[in-house]
Amino acid sequence: MKVVENPNRFVLIWRVVQLLILSHLWLLSEVGVEGFIFLLLLMIVTSLRVRFALPAWSFVLDLIVCLAFMPFYSFAQFGLTIPIFEALLKSKWVVVIPYFVFLILYPDITEVFFWYSIISIFIGYFLFSLLTQQKRATAEADKERKARYELEQVRMELLIAYSEVEKAAELKERNRISRELHDYLGHDLTGALLAIQAYEHLEDQAEGKKLLEQIKERLVRSTTRLRETAHNLMPVSLMGIEHLEKIVQESEPLTVSFRHRGHYERITSPVWVLLEACIKEALTNVRKHSNSKEVDIELVVTDHLIRLKIQDYGNVQKHSQHGTGIRSLQLRARTLKGTLSVDRTDGYRLVCVLPIDREVDG
């Protein structure tokens, strides 16, 4: 697995091995400064190749050096394995055929050089396969990372759109309630007030009794309208502190301590939904990954922010990555202009901080 993950390291090792073999042959030969110059030229080209991304045809430089020195030094033929190896790394397979022809026709080819060439070709092909595999894996990882990023962007846009639609729906409902109170309840109460003022100046008891009946009818109608409006404002499902307390009570086999304080009327419905999701997700994670049976939950609502803290003190995986549930909660918290963090250094701790919506609070 390490070979697949680090093929460039083995490419460098084989380049060094090739140069060491040539250096050893030079020391065994009687060639002096001229052989050293040959080695030096090959080392320079190899160093440039390691340091910079040379073009695919750069193996021709090594080939020219080797062909230029071969008529004078027999060990220079071993240098031909360097350009062949580099050509295979660049997928220049066409050079292998003339190289085999050279091995067959060249009169001074030794058996050692023949098998050394075969080994170099095999290693070149093997490392080329590893490099190709690495590039393919990197491309797939980049593609997956891009797709995941685009998916997160889409999810963020959907959450923002959901938040905007929810605010628009809330504003529309406010306008409807305001219009209903003004058109019906306001008119009836105003009429009843004017009738009471008129009753104070009446002297005819029969007219006064009739006027009182009208006032009573208007007040009964206003009371009924107000009761219906209040009933329509009640949420269909439970929401708020009572609902969070119910979730805590149903958290067996965990023992949960739930403390809360502040002005809960400042918490909007999207925030209540997020707080509920945070508690459920945290309790689920404690059940799955912690050996603790006791959990502390604290909810504080101040003039400026809402802070939810969930803590247990069991043993959890400290370096495990966040799951899909936590990442989704973090995304929803950012949509509400807040933050959500998880710390596993001392048990499991989830902290969600959200700002107070001043438009709603005002």
Cα gap 77→108, rounded to integer Å: 9
- Beta strand segments in the chain, E: 255-262, 294-301, 305-312, 339-343, 348-355
What confidence category does residue 237 fall into, taking pLDDT thresholds of 50, 70 and 90? very low
Contact call for residues 220 and 211 (beta carbons, < 8 A): no
What confidence category does residue 361 fall into, taking pLDDT thresholds of 50, 70 and 90? very low
The phi and psi torsions of 92 (rounded to 5 degrees) equal: -95, 70
Q: Rounded to an integer, what is the distance from CA 283 to the centroid of its chain?
A: 23
Residue given tokens 């030794």 in the structure block: 110
Q: Report pLDDT for 5.
A: 61
Label residue 154 exposed, middle or buried (CB < 10 Å: 0-12, 13-18, 19+).
Answer: exposed
Q: Which of 346, 281, 293 is nearest to 315 (CA)?
A: 346
Q: Which of 89, 94, 86, 88 is nearest to 65 (CA)?
A: 86
- Residue 146 makes CB contacts below 8 A (sequence gap 6+) with none
Residue predicted with more confidence, 21 or 290: 21
Q: Is the pLDDT of residue 69 over 60?
A: yes
Q: Report pLDDT for 2.
A: 43
Compute and round to an integer the Cα radius of gyration of the chain.
41
Q: What percent of the chain has pLDDT over 70?
A: 89
What confidence category does residue 15 fall into, taking pLDDT thresholds of 50, 70 and 90? very high
Q: Report pLDDT for 1.
A: 41
Handedness of CA 266, 268, 273, 274 (dihedral sign): negative
Residue given tokens 């209540």 in the structure block: 272
pLDDT tens readout for residues 274-289:
899 899 888 888 888 7
Q: Report pLDDT for 82.
A: 93
Average pLDDT, the chain: 82
Q: Which of 40, 28, 90, 38 is nearest to 65 (CA)?
A: 38
DSSP string for residues in 125-157: HHHHHHHHHHHHHHHHHHHHHHHHHHHHHHHHH
Q: Which CATH architecture has domain 241-361?
A: 2-Layer Sandwich (3.30)
Q: Report pLDDT for 3.
A: 43
Label residue 286 exposed, middle or buried (CB < 10 Å: 0-12, 13-18, 19+).
Answer: buried
Residue predicted with more confidence, 204 or 126: 126
Cα gap 277→331, rounded to integer Å: 12
Cα gap 57→95, rounded to integer Å: 11
Residue predicted with more confidence, 1 or 304: 304
Average pLDDT over residues 51-75: 88
Q: Which of 177, 82, 122, 155 is nearest to 324 (CA)?
A: 155
